[in-house]
Structure 1
Amino acid sequence: MNYPEFPAPAERTAVIDLAAIRHNVRHLSHVVSPARVMAVVKADAYGHGAVETARAAVSAGAAWLGVAHISEALALRTAGITEPVLAWLHTREAEFGEAIRANVDLGVSGWDLEEVVAAARELEMPARVHLKIDTGLGRNGCPEDLWEAFVGRALAYQEEGLLRVVGIFSHFAVADEPHRPETDEQLQKFRDAVAVAEDAGVDREVRHIANTPGALSRPDAHFDLVRIGLGMYGLSPFAGQTSAELGLRPAMTVKTTIAACKEVPADQGVSYGLHYRTQEPTTLALIPLGYADGIPRVATGGPVQVDGQVYPVVGRVAMDQMVIDLRRTGIAGTPDSLVGREAVLFGGEGQPSVDEWASAAGSINYEIISRIGGRVPRTYIDSEPRGGAGDTEGLPIALEAAPESTTAPEGATDPETHAAQAVEAP
């Protein structure tokens, strides 16, 4: 397989392939059809860049965008993005009025309903709300015993013209462990909550509970809309199942160049605490990325690829740098000549994976990509030329299908893709 050439190396960079984003959205849209896709771009699109990712996702057929905070939704509106956006995590200081003015949908589950209504009354403009039921995750979401009364309050406000109930939603707790019974329990509670709301008179547009693992393993959870986060970025939510096996392409490649290189004797200590010592005379290479850039401090053993070979990080990861032991294993050149060689921490096919870094850090792939800091510039490429392949037929669809999917509105179709480009973010 031929891969596009990346732009000229920067000191350090996170290269985001927008074609991979589009591919993943098209593929997941195919998996969940006829349900539609909400592309979740919270937390700066898991570190990929919210505006750029949102535009790529919409161009590939995403019908909705999802964020945690209203400020994230307003940033999308400021960038000229007009597609439906849902924001669902609020504090007392949230700018509900600005959200209503910007036509941002709001998830509500308790105290926030009255705050949204107050803002709508002041603006004399109805809010669009999605009512959230806690089906077992135990975070926000209306408790089951308060649900009927909560729905009744929302409908009363709707009668006053202060809001429109657009959706009903919840969130899975263990869908990334497909055989756990709690997902079945949550689904039943969600169906019951939807029935209560519909019996009370809610004429909703969308029902949504499935995240990426739910989308891939539970067709019966697709309903009208599926919220795609991790999968859009090309990563697997399942232990023991790779991105490639799910038909996904990782969109982020984090890389830098060797900053220094030197030969050292046996028993040379490395990094703070001197927890690693060389076993024999060897060559150490300094990688100029550290925990201030989002690389977990505890990720000793994380893989770094140089000249096609992978070397583990040795010693502790420091604030700005870490060390790999080249161990004289075939890498060509003197120490000085190795300075400037490309060093890839993770990326797509043929490169170390985000999952390997997550394992080294005792964490999950979500955290690794979303914590890559602002000191690492984002560089955007598009490896799919205009009219490039976007087919989803023949791609694997995750796990064995569960019960048949609930019917939903017709899914979005794929638009024509954009011309190739390579732009470095400011």
Structure 2
Amino acid sequence: MSGQLAEAVIDLSAIGDNVRTVAGVARTGLMAVVKADAFGHGAVPVARAAVRAGATWLGVTSSTEALALRTAGIRAPILSWLHRPDEDFTHLITARVDIAVSTLTHLHSVAGAATRLGTPATVQLKADIGLSRNGANGDDWPELVAWARKYEAEGSVRVRGVWSHLTNAEEPGSRSVTGQVSTFREALRIARDACLTPEVVHLANSAAALGVPEARYDLCRIGLALYGVDPFDPTGPGRFGLRPAMTLRTSVVNVKRVPAGSGVSYGPEHVTDRATTLALIPLGYADGLSRTTEDRASVWLGGRRCPIVGRIAMDQCVVDAGDLPVALGDEVVVFGPGAAGAGGGAPGAAAAEPTVGEWARWAGTNPHEVMTGIGARVARVHLHLER
């Protein structure tokens, strides 16, 4: 690990395989969502791998993220969707980044920047169809559409897309999803009746790309699936054959044999019930190991799963290795594809390292939070990197 205490190893070939897998199901263009540093995987290398595999768009949250991709020389179409209304949009316009617009205030600001620059801004209008976050709904949507058409006629704005986001695409066939798709169709009708002619219409996220055909339109936006996590079965391999791209690993930095009745970590809230071997690993909640996983989480050590015991500290935590012959420097896999121990493992033990979906379940959250929570001091190592 070259002096690093821990590393997140990113397999970029898995990113490419996941793009091709989803494309094979959805049969649409794909927008690879690389916001939040590509869910902690590294935005620039992941973006390059996704585009190389056939992704036609990239999606980000902010101007900073979009411009970082452009600075890295990435020329694929980019949509940036969350902005302050008083932001200086000239940088995005100059960089040929599509700007998502959800309010009249934002639209006026974008059009004003384009007028000052003398270059039309390319925008994508977002409708709120039930998520109650960003996007225009009710009477705001027809007004936003009308102003967008006015600015388009004047030459300050080009409306390239209309889009929205489902609330619960993980429940395909539910009345809620059906209703949201219907609401989106109506929003699209209103836009077209106002003489807007969007070239890209998109609604589907990863779950909808894989399970809601009526939501697919021209593009599907893939985030979780891009990183190899099945949105319908995040703790297992799932039925689509997605490949988890991130493996979080470290090594043992201290080993001690302790008798029964030994307290472990702060409190102590854990006391050993037998003589056992404790292995210290240099990862803690500052690195993304949530304290809510205490008494549930395990890691892969010595060919089997071993539980984390005691409180997880900021920089370290303790693993109960039982009677395993653990030594300083032994590799520990916190989570990975779930295949490390296939065909092996101790009798009665899980035959593979934990997955990010399992860590999410232990923490009472989703895989997105686990992956994006891996701290900056954990080195990112990219396999199959191409420039």
TM-score, with normalisation over the residues of structure 2?
0.93
Give the counterpart of 1:44 among 33, 37, 41.
Answer: 37
Deviation track 1:283-311 (CA, whole Å, cap 9, x = no partner) reads: 11111001111111221121210122111
Deviation track 1:386-415 (CA, whole Å, cap 9, x = no partner) reads: xxxxxxxxxxxxxxxxxxxxxxxxxxxxxx
- C-alpha spacing 1:272/1:216, structure 2 compared with 1 (3 Å): same
- C-alpha spacing 1:262/1:179, structure 2 compared with 1 (3 Å): farther
Give the counterpart of 2:331 among 335, 342, 352.
Answer: 342
Displacement after TM superposition at 1:373 (Å)? 1.1
Displacement after TM superposition at 1:145 (Å)? 2.1
- C-alpha spacing 1:9/1:250, structure 2 compared with 1 (3 Å): farther
- SS at 1:284's partner residue? strand
AA at the equivalent of 2:266? Y
5 Å-filtered alignment, 1:209-248, equals: 209-239=203-233, 242-248=236-242
1:163 aligns with 2:162: no
Residue matched to 1:283: 277
Displacement after TM superposition at 1:173 (Å)? 0.7
- SS at 2:204's partner residue? coil
Residue matched to 2:95: 102
Residue matched to 1:84: 77
Aligned length, in residue pairs: 372
Contact (CA 8 Å) 1:270, 1:276: kept in 2 or not? Answer: yes
Displacement after TM superposition at 1:143 (Å)? 1.3
Displacement after TM superposition at 1:239 (Å)? 4.3
Residue matched to 1:310: 305
AA at the equivalent of 1:292? A
Residue matched to 1:410: none
Q: Distance in 1 between matches of 2:236 and 2:89?
A: 40
- SS at 1:273's partner residue? coil
- SS at 2:306's partner residue? strand
AA at the equivalent of 1:104? V
Deviation track 1:241-261 (CA, whole Å, cap 9, x = no partner) reads: 733422100000000000101
Q: Distance in 1 between matches of 2:303 and 2:225?
A: 27
5 Å-filtered alignment, 1:111-122, equals: 111-122=105-116
Q: Distance in 1 between matches of 2:178 and 2:238?
A: 27
1:380 aligns with 2:382: yes
- SS at 1:326's partner residue? strand
Deviation track 1:49-70 (CA, whole Å, cap 9, x = no partner) reads: 0000000000000000000111
- SS at 1:144's partner residue? coil
1:175 aligns with 2:164: no
Contact (CA 8 Å) 1:130, 1:168: kept in 2 or not? Answer: yes
Displacement after TM superposition at 1:360 (Å)? 1.3
Higher relative contact order (CA 8 A, sep 6+): 1
Which segment is superposed worse, 22-31 or 349-358?
349-358
Contact (CA 8 Å) 1:303, 1:356: kept in 2 or not? Answer: no
Displacement after TM superposition at 1:272 (Å)? 1.8
Residue matched to 1:409: none
- C-alpha spacing 1:266/1:93, structure 2 compared with 1 (3 Å): farther
Deviation track 1:200-240 (CA, whole Å, cap 9, x = no partner) reads: 10111111011001111101110000000000000021247
Displacement after TM superposition at 1:194 (Å)? 0.5
Residue matched to 1:70: 63
What residue ranges of structure 2 are gaps of 5+ in the alignment?
Answer: 340-352
Deviation track 1:91-138 (CA, whole Å, cap 9, x = no partner) reads: 135331100010000000102111111111110110000000000000
- C-alpha spacing 1:254/1:162, structure 2 compared with 1 (3 Å): same
Residue matched to 2:47: 54
* Root mean square deviation, CA, Å: 1.6
5 Å-filtered alignment, 1:337-416, equals: 338-350=327-339, 351-382=353-384
Q: Distance in 2 between matches of 1:29 and 1:236?
A: 14
Which segment is superposed worse, 21-30 or 348-357?
348-357
Identity within the alignment, %:
48
Displacement after TM superposition at 1:10 (Å)? 4.3
AA at the equivalent of 2:237? S
Displacement after TM superposition at 1:265 (Å)? 1.2
Contact (CA 8 Å) 2:232, 2:238: kept in 1 or not? Answer: no
Contact (CA 8 Å) 2:235, 2:355: kept in 1 or not? Answer: no
Contact (CA 8 Å) 2:26, 2:220: kept in 1 or not? Answer: yes
AA at the equivalent of 1:206? V
